[in-house]
């Protein structure tokens, strides 16, 4: 995603505020981008840097083809500096190096941009050095601090930044973004129902574990419908071999929950809401033998199972009890 026209669909409020500041030439010297992982903070900051440097932009849209735009995309622009944690934290030495870089005249202009990822991971010394940097702003210098936890930053740093709150992405936008990233529509719809975090969704899509988890959910449904007497055997021999710990089983239960939600959607005529779109025929067939009350009861049982996991009930016991409840 590299256009403001795209970003406005994902983060409309932040996009409007930033583009207005560019149009009116009222760019702040420091911004705090806060929001959960995968909501577009880094993309937004790099796009902003392009609009800041691009000499051929049309309105607010950077041209994307000039040397400034291309070098920002490649991470090689001499006057755009991105700081990331070294290990678990951003250290004082990294901020000192940044300050030293900014004492030099810009190589091609006096404009400079620095982006601090995971700004809440600055050590106390690094945060204090950055504060000193923010207290002496240069009109042609723009700072963008990116964080999932803005409250973890010093109040004195927050007060010197214009705060931009990034909202969680809705399922429709996540689906669109994933499709743009090359994810199939069927996988995109399923992933967007599980998470509104683009990065997490893309990681799950690349993971063979998730692909196998999806298959096991369908296989469990088949066993429950066609060979219910073998369901517990399937759970112990195949299901638990894959969903080995609480986190994994919790994700398996989320997938199972989505399947029964799809069954409810089939019963009430909301086919457009179904996320297991490659299993439409199976869901339709299931609706002939499993009623809407059955599906809603199954969802209740799954929710109870997730609560038991939180209460440290043994995962295998949780899954066995759930299987017996659905069989009744």
For residues 148 and 328, give the distance between their C-alpha atoms in angstroms, rounded to a whole number. Answer: 44
Q: Report pLDDT digits (tens) over 281-299.
A: 999 999 999 999 999 999 9
pTM: 0.68
Q: Which DSSP helix (H) or strand (E) runs through 82?
A: strand 80-83
Q: Report pLDDT digits (tens) over 37-46.
A: 878 899 999 9
Residues in Cβ contact with 134 at an 8 Å cutoff, skipping those fewer than 6 apart: 29, 30, 143, 157, 160, 161
Q: Report pLDDT digits (tens) over 112-158.
A: 999 999 999 999 999 999 998 888 766 688 999 999 888 889 999 99
- CA–centroid distance for 263 within its chain: 27
Q: What is the pLDDT of residue 327?
A: 86
Q: What mean pLDDT do residues 23-32 have?
A: 93
Q: Report pLDDT digits (tens) over 189-231.
A: 999 999 888 888 999 999 999 999 999 999 999 999 999 999 9
For residues 86 and 88, give the distance between their C-alpha atoms in angstroms, rounded to a whole number. Answer: 6
* Nearest of 228, 30, 41 to residue 144 by alpha carbon: 30
Q: What is the pLDDT of residue 107?
A: 59
| C-beta of residue 188 within 8 angstroms of C-beta of residue 178 | yes
Confidence of residue 310 (pLDDT cuts 50, 70, 90): confident
Q: What is the pLDDT of residue 106?
A: 59
| Max Cα-Cα span within the chain | 76
Tokens linked to 295: 């599906």
Distances (CA, A) of 39 to 5, 10, 220: 16, 8, 34
Residues in Cβ contact with 281 at an 8 Å cutoff, skipping those fewer than 6 apart: none
Q: What is the pLDDT of residue 98?
A: 86
Q: What is the pLDDT of residue 111?
A: 86
| C-beta of residue 35 within 8 angstroms of C-beta of residue 211 | no
| C-beta of residue 287 within 8 angstroms of C-beta of residue 271 | no
Strand partners, 82: 115
Q: What is the pLDDT of residue 225?
A: 92
Confidence of residue 108 (pLDDT cuts 50, 70, 90): low
Tokens linked to 10: 């994902």
Which CB contacts under 8 angstroms, 24+ apart, belong to 1-6? Answer: 1/40, 1/43, 1/47, 1/177, 1/180, 2/43, 2/47, 2/50, 2/64, 2/73, 3/47, 3/61, 3/64, 4/47, 4/51, 4/60, 4/61, 5/61
Q: Report pLDDT digits (tens) over 55-75.
A: 999 999 999 999 999 999 999
Q: Report pLDDT digits (tens) over 94-103.
A: 999 888 877 7
Residue 1 has pLDDT above 70, yes or no: no
Q: How far apart are the first and last CA of the chain?
A: 49
Q: Report pLDDT digits (tens) over 272-283.
A: 899 999 999 999
For residues 83 and 303, give the distance between their C-alpha atoms in angstroms, rounded to a whole number. Answer: 42
> At what angle are helices 92-103 and 124-135 packed, to 10 degrees?
20
Residue 251 has pLDDT above 70, yes or no: yes
Helices (H), the chain: 4-10, 12-23, 41-53, 67-74, 92-103, 124-135, 155-158, 171-180, 185-194, 198-206, 208-226, 231-234, 240-242, 246-268, 280-289, 292-310, 315-327
What mean pLDDT, rounded, does the chain reach?
91
CATH superfamily, domain at 4-168? P-loop containing nucleotide triphosphate hydrolases (3.40.50.300)
Q: What mean pLDDT do residues 1-25 have?
A: 89
């Amino acid at each position: 995603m590299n256009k403001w026209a795209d970003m406005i669909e994902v983060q409309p409020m932040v996009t409007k505020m930033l583009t207005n500041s560019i149009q009116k030439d009222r760019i702040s010297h420091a911004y705090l981008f806060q929001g959960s992982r995968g909501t577009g903070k880094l993309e937004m900051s790099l796009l902003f840097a392009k609009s800041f440097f691009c000499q051929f932009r049309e309105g607010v849209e950077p041209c994307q083809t000039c040397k400034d735009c291309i070098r920002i995309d490649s991470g090689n622009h001499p006057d755009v500096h991105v700081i990331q944690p070294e290990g678990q934290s951003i250290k004082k030495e990294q901020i000192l190096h940044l300050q030293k870089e900014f004492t030099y005249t810009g190589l091609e202009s006096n404009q400079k941009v620095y982006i601090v990822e995971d700004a809440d991971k600055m050590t106390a010394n690094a945060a204090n050095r950055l504060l000193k940097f923010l207290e002496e702003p240069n009109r042609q210098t723009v700072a963008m601090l990116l964080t999932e936890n803005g409250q973890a930053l010093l109040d004195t740093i927050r007060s010197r930044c214009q705060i931009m709150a990034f909202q969680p992405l809705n399922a429709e936008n996540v689906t669109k973004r994933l499709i743009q990233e090359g994810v199939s529509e069927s996988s995109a719809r399923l992933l967007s129902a599980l998470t509104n975090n683009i990065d997490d969704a893309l990681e799950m899509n690349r993971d063979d574990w998730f692909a196998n988890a999806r298959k096991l959910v369908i296989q469990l449904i088949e066993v429950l419908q066609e060979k219910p007497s073998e369901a517990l055997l399937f759970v112990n021999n195949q299901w638990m071999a894959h969903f080995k710990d609480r986190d994994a089983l919790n994700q398996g239960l989320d997938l199972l929950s989505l399947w029964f939600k799809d069954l409810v959607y089939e019963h009430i005529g909301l086919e457009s809401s179904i996320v297991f779109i490659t299993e439409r025929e199976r869901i339709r067939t299931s609706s002939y033998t499993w009623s809407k009350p059955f599906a809603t009861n199954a969802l209740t049982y799954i929710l109870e199972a997730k609560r038991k996991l939180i209460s440290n009930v043994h995962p295998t016991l949780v899954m066995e009890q759930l299987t017996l409840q659905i069989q009744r």
